[in-house]
Structure 1
């Protein structure tokens, strides 16, 4: 069997060249950086940062010194075939732990024959069929997993069920959990898929566990990995009626937003963090906007009032996090119900209650027909619509 090499491609020019020439009898007109020992006919796996194992091909020339890069050699590559979808780095690390290159994939390498065989198997098994599971089986598995399905995973899954045709890419899913890096989804969906398999009693030799969640493919517009969630899983997630059992932890949200916060000046950064904690300028703005009283009941006992975001802090831009129109001043009971998606407000401010609440529960909670926001401004509307669409159940 021929020798296998892992080489690198950039996210722009190289990636576009690969996509344009994949499946054609084309050989690159330029030399790819290559191990000096590479020979014509050797296999190559092309890794692209942020995507993973992206394509495979063959060496089509002898290696020559690169005039633009001292101590580096290059060779032409042809017979390009896309690995569709790309195999993310997290899956490579998890599936082939002895491939030490994957711990810091910034170079080229020629894996030992045994590891090269594992790489070939990973690529071959990537498209293997999975057994079909019913919605009832998925729901039983999710219930069995319990709190191991974290708040962020619940948010990602719930967001996925509302996507057109159940399709979202890894960046969109990361953003739903307040993250910006697509690899966040790759890692967390990978772990979730593995947990699902175990809870379902699936003992297959899957290497890419995200396929327990949905069928993966490449987003043709941006090249990112995307998943079409299995219909049965989507049905099971909807049936779970997931809402946080406690208020999302403010300090955890702040920690996860560290990169975004680091771009702000100290004064603005403090204001944004205080807004998540329901303190500082954000709370004062809501007190002024609502006249120091609950936005619904008119209760003016300050100790009983909570300054809370309409669109959750973790899903907001820094500007939205500081907007008084993205906040409500509510008594504790209403604030808790609103945060958990059990109540929301229509465009005219009328309070809506979830079908999950019985008539007796509504009476006990003091929810009455005709309750509404005491005032509403145009700037509130997009945030309230977001809450109705994304949080209310």
Structure 2
């Protein structure tokens, strides 16, 4: 039992749990007034819903911690089929929220299948490029075929339309593919083609409302009452917080000024109420998860596990960068939640499950290292004798 406990990576387990609990507190603070005055619900309604999703996510997290990650490699066909069926179901039975048909109602729950695609595609690409390591330098034989599935998934997500999620998935895919060992010129070609297609589709699907997100991001004060309004309110929240913040629950911007305060712009509320200390708490914990994941990827001797760890780390890191870029005006507002903290049940469950997989990979790495470190010279000599005896038995039997 003591040996099994030593295999757990507590440095990787603690930050996502801290961020998830912190997120519920901030969701309550950011949404309590809106819940009462706009939705006519109790002040704690959104925090309660997020708490229910957290329970589901914790079950998935524990399952993934103990379930051997190598089994996913054998389930790639079913995972791909599940992703395609989920996105087709959105097209047939989906519900439109905030101009995007991305959700499916399952009884009292609203599920966003595109979030499931993130981890599903990471598993698929990690598995398929592990199999192709012997000829990974061959662009048409190794690199190109899996991109057909990737492109189909991206097309279904863009059609919703959800260009922000599609951009995240595209970035994750490029990270996994590059890490698999393909040639840099092949990756450059893929990135160029992918960005060209995304931009072309984006221009065709752009509406006045979506175009305003770009003008609002880089020229917010030219239209402070419309396209630049949200970002300006975010600036006010960030500037008001200072070093220590105005106090949890005491923020002003969430009182009808800053929309989507509990989801896309929750970091602005954190900044206003908890100041620089709150921001650093979130950034440090997110950084620990990403860096620890990359460390595990480096230590893992299994190619599938290494690519899987890189993909999960990239997913969390890229999503955090896009969210933080949006609230600070560095990137257009795309509706991307902050990992573990923003309101959003499907996102939270997928992230906790993904970190559970990362912990399972870490357990395998730590178990192997523990066994190597605990092997005494006497054990090594005994192993040599056993191997020698087995050789003699095999040779004599022939």
Bin the TM-score by the shorter chain: under 0.3
The two structures have a TM-score, normalised by structure 2, of 0.22
- Structure showing greater Rg: 1
The two structures have a TM-score, normalised by structure 1, of 0.22
Greater relative CO, 1 or 2 (CA 8 Å, sep 6+)? 2
Higher-helix-fraction structure:
2
